[in-house]
């Protein structure tokens, strides 16, 4: 079943990467973007052509524009390309669908989707055909989606080398509310509270604060669009967290007045610990407890290179890595996560090479 010719609307990283993957799979791709330079760059790296498509011939349209523009662009695409299946790659699905119901357009040809990849880079320059290779790509048909349209999107996902996950629209939106949007808001609340903290007190901040608040540094305009599109799914989750916060505050207020209340605070802490263990590990595998090793490393050009050369010499695969900067000293601490059965070999080899290496508590915080 051919997807040619296809149109990709929005030639940013995700759109251009879809174009590259479809082109590589032998399909003809026409690129559109309000920003003409994006189309040129994307065409230059093999994402498709900047020439306009013949509307009646188009078989597939992939809409990859910012959240707030999605519904209007999809409605317009259903109208402009009367024989095409139309999908999008937006991170929220229900709101767009509601707008489509009201539009009077041929919604049977629309099937939403959401590739779990892409926003780490931005712009078409870093687009690549294998961006979605082996990634999860959620397909969210609605009750009037035609079987043919759903099949076209499945073919798109297959052409991009991604792993399809068919998910109900509401379940998808609830899932991203839980694993992405609510965590984002918790980070925002914590970071926002720092505006009340005197600067001299912020000198006591450690890595834990930096981790919790990192994603609050994201573009507020983009997130306003995402949250506006998913408020129905975000609200019940946020209210559940609000309830937990209320009970936590009550537990802390009562702490020390009764033994049973102290256990209420501990119960929150243990519930949090249990929650962290539910997050899947690397490569979608079950959570693995890696052994965390810590090496002190001078803050100088070449030091990391020498360190990793010595790690490589040990023949050990580093599963994860992070650097915690000392706020005052010219050194950092490098945490290396390795499989438990490889840790002793690495410690021996690194010690022989002159590094100070030891076990760490991966979750502790120097400002604790």
In the complex, least distance from residue 144 CB atom to a copy of itself, rounded to whole angstroms: 24
Subset of 59-118 contacting a copy of itself (CB under 8 A): 91, 116-118
In the complex, least distance from residue 167 CB atom to a copy of itself, rounded to whole angstroms: 9
In the complex, least distance from residue 316 CB atom to a copy of itself, rounded to whole angstroms: 7
Instruction: Single out the residue of 36, 54, 166, 240 in contact with a copy of itself (rule: CB under 8 A).
Output: 240
In whole angstroms, give the CA distance from residue 327 to residue 321: 19
The three-state secondary structure class of 29 is strand
In the complex, least distance from residue 340 CB atom to a copy of itself, rounded to whole angstroms: 16
Residue 336 sits at φ, ψ, to 5 deg, of -120, 125
In the complex, least distance from residue 97 CB atom to a copy of itself, rounded to whole angstroms: 16
Instruction: Single out the residue of 4, 218, 339, 353 in contact with a copy of itself (rule: CB under 8 A).
Output: 218
Peptide bond before 5: cis, by omega within 30 degrees of 0?
yes
| Choice between 57 and 253, CB closer to a copy of itself | 253
| Choice between 54 and 321, CB closer to a copy of itself | 321
Cross-strand partners of 86: 61, 110
Q: How many CB atoms lie within 10 A of CB 62?
A: 27
Instruction: Single out the residue of 175, 339, 349, 353 in contact with a copy of itself (rule: CB under 8 A).
Output: 175
In the complex, least distance from residue 238 CB atom to a copy of itself, rounded to whole angstroms: 6
In whole angstroms, give the CA distance from residue 65 to residue 44: 20
| Choice between 152 and 173, CB closer to a copy of itself | 173
Q: From residue 173, give the alpha-carbon distance in Å to each of 96, 119, 164, 167, 187.
A: 11, 18, 16, 10, 20
Contact range with a copy of itself by CB under 8 A, out of 21-29, 76-84, 149-157, 184-192? 184-192
Is the CB of residue 131 less than 8 Å from the CB of residue 24?
no
Instruction: Single out the residue of 54, 148, 321, 345 in contact with a copy of itself (rule: CB under 8 A).
Output: 321
Site for a copy of itself contains 18 (CB under 8 A)? no
- Largest pairwise CA distance in the chain: 76
In the complex, least distance from residue 161 CB atom to a copy of itself, rounded to whole angstroms: 10
In whole angstroms, give the CA distance from residue 343 to residue 291: 7
Contact range with a copy of itself by CB under 8 A, out of 3-11, 21-29, 43-51, 310-318? 310-318
In the complex, least distance from residue 22 CB atom to a copy of itself, rounded to whole angstroms: 19
Instruction: Single out the residue of 54, 235, 258, 288 in contact with a copy of itself (rule: CB under 8 A).
Output: 235
Residue 31 sits at φ, ψ, to 5 deg, of -105, 140
Subset of 335-364 contacting a copy of itself (CB under 8 A): 356, 358-364
Site for a copy of itself contains 288 (CB under 8 A)? no
Q: Spell out the residues 6+ positions from residue 91 whose beta carbon is closer than 8 angstroms to its own.
A: 67, 114, 176, 180, 226, 230
In whole angstroms, give the CA distance from residue 211 to residue 215: 8
| Choice between 54 and 312, CB closer to a copy of itself | 312
DSSP 60-71: EEEE---GGGHH
Q: Spell out the residues 6+ positions from residue 121 whose beta carbon is closer than 8 angstroms to its own.
A: 13
Instruction: Single out the residue of 61, 187, 290, 291 in contact with a copy of itself (rule: CB under 8 A).
Output: 187
Contact range with a copy of itself by CB under 8 A, out of 39-47, 75-83, 102-110, 181-189? 181-189
Instruction: Single out the residue of 35, 52, 134, 148 in contact with a copy of itself (rule: CB under 8 A).
Output: 134
Runs of H (alpha helix) within 146-181 = 147-159, 169-176
Q: How many CB atoms lie within 10 A of CB 42?
A: 31
Cross-strand partners of 114: 138
| Choice between 36 and 202, CB closer to a copy of itself | 202
As given in the structure block, the two tokens for residue 30 are 């026409």
| Choice between 159 and 311, CB closer to a copy of itself | 311
In the complex, least distance from residue 53 CB atom to a copy of itself, rounded to whole angstroms: 29
Is the CB of residue 342 less than 8 Å from the CB of residue 317?
yes
Instruction: Single out the residue of 36, 54, 197, 258 in contact with a copy of itself (rule: CB under 8 A).
Output: 197
């Amino acid at each position: 079943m051919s997807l040619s010719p296809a149109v990709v609307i929005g030639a940013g990283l995700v759109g251009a990467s879809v174009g590259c993957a479809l082109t590589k799979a032998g399909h003809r791709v026409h690129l559109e973007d309000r920003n003409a330079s994006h189309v040129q760059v994307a065409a230059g790296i093999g994402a498709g052509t900047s020439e306009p498509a013949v509307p009646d011939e188009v078989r597939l349209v992939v809409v990859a524009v910012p959240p707030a523009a999605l519904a209007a662009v999809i409605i317009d695409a259903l109208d402009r390309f009367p024989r095409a299946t139309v999908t999008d790659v937006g991170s929220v699905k229900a709101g767009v669908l509601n707008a489509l119901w009201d539009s009077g357009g041929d919604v049977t040809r629309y099937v939403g989707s959401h590739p779990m990849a892409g926003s780490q880079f931005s712009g078409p320059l870093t687009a690549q055909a294998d961006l979605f290779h082996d990634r999860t790509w959620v397909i969210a048909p609605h009750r009037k989606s035609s079987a043919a349209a759903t099949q076209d999107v499945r073919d798109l996902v297959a052409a991009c080398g991604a792993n399809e996950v068919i998910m109900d629209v509401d379940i998808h939106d609830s899932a991203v509310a839980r694993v992405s949007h609510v965590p984002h808001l918790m980070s925002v609340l914590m970071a926002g509270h720092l505006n009340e903290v005197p600067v001299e007190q912020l000198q006591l901040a450690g890595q834990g604060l930096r981790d919790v608040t990192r994603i609050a540094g994201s573009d507020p305009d983009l997130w306003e669009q995402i949250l506006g599109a998913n408020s129905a799914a975000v609200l019940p989750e946020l209210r559940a967290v609000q309830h937990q916060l209320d009970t936590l505050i009550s537990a802390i207020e009562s702490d020390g007045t009764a033994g049973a209340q102290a256990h209420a605070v501990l119960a929150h802490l243990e519930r949090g610990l249990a929650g962290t263990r539910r997050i899947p590990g690397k490569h979608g595998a079950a959570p693995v407890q890696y052994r965390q090793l810590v090496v002190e490393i001078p803050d100088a050009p070449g030091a990391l290179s020498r360190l990793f050369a010595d790690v490589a010499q040990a023949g050990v695969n580093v599963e994860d890595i992070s650097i915690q900067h000392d706020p005052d000293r010219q050194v950092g601490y490098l945490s290396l996560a390795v499989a438990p059965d490889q840790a002793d070999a690495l410690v021996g080899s690194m010690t022989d090479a002159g590094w100070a290496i030891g076990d760490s508590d991966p979750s502790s915080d120097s400002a604790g």
